[in-house]
A = this chain, B = another copy of it.
Amino acid sequence: MSVVRDKANCRISALKSLLCVGLDSDPEKIPAVFLPYENPVLEFNRAVIRATSDVAIAYKLNTAFYEARGIAGLLDMEKTLGSIPDVCMTIADAKRADIGNTSKMYAQAFFDHWSFDALTVAPYMGFDSLEPFFAYEDKLLFVLCLTSNEGSVDFEEQAMQDGRPLYRSVLDKVASWNRNGNGGVVVGATKSALLSEIRCEAPNLFLLIPGVGAQGGSLEDTVHFGVDANRQSAVINVSRSLIYPSGSFSGIDDYERAVAAEASKMHSVMKAIL
């Protein structure tokens, strides 16, 4: 069984929280109080981490936001990782996958080089493109299944020959490939009825659930339908609605108070249900 999965589940039960904080840190969106610093994104990430780490189960770094600024962005990613408490799971939201010898290199990048605990991957190329990631038994792997965006109708929700949508076929296969207990799927919160079906169909997979907040999914339904029989094995990612609170801030402390208040509000909802 995956060490990372155990670490996350242990913290979920201890805190009665499923909160995953999405560090989609966009230099054009971060509050003005961070701009005078040499590394505004890094200072911003550290403030978000300080404001949320008492209730967060995981931090999800969306690699695109760091890659967009090249080496400077990746240095911020590296330093941000160093600021996340060890008890929290670190997720690289990178959506990688390629032929086997290439996926092996991506696994090295995210698991060995950057030392992330978990990684999101794309299913299109099939088993041998995911096998090198599943081989890291201690880690946790989230395969895209049913995403929260409009484009999910183009392929994910299209019916296969047996009448069931493609994402169900992905779900079944990921469940069958999960021999090391380190498998999971990404399921958008914007479709809570489908989330419930997916949880019934795959009782043993860990779920990474984005789409609450800016994308419109209900937090209560997502907590209710997302967890497994032990009220564990799910994290709910919140990014924009948490890290970019409205209003202006007199200083970093003031910003941290606003984020901490929002995180605490979400935690209360989760705690009441768990």
Contact = CB atoms under 8 A, between A and B. Distances in A.
Interface of A: 24, 26, 62, 64-65, 67-71, 74-75, 78, 93, 95-103, 105-106, 108-109, 113-114, 122-130, 144, 147-156, 158-161, 163, 166, 169-170, 173
Given A74-B74, A99-B148, A160-B159, A68 B113 contact: yes
A74 B155 CA distance: 33
B124 A67 contact: no
Contact of A64 (B67, B69, B96, B170): B96
A101 B244 CA distance: 15
Contact of A156 (B113, B125, B130, B144): B125
Contact of A166 (B99, B114, B155): B155
Contact of A154 (B65, B106, B108, B173): B173
A113 B69 contact: yes
A109 B154 contact: no
A126 B150 contact: yes
Contact of A124 (B24, B69, B74, B156): B156
Give how many copies assemble into the complex.
2
A101 B128 CA distance: 29
Given A68-B113, A155-B166, A160-B161, A62 B126 contact: no
Contact of A169 (B69, B71, B155): B155
Contacts of A99: 147-149
Contacts of A126: 149-156
A125 to B, nearest CB: 5
A71 B74 contact: yes
Given A99-B147, A125-B156, A161-B160, A74 B70 contact: yes
Question: Chain B CB within 10 Å — which of A71, A105, A114, A169 has the most?
Answer: A105
Nearest to A97: B95
Contacts of A128: 149-151
Contacts of A71: 71, 74-75, 78
Contact of A106 (B68, B78, B166): B68
Given A74-B71, A126-B149, A149-B129, A65 B102 contact: yes
A66 B95 CA distance: 17
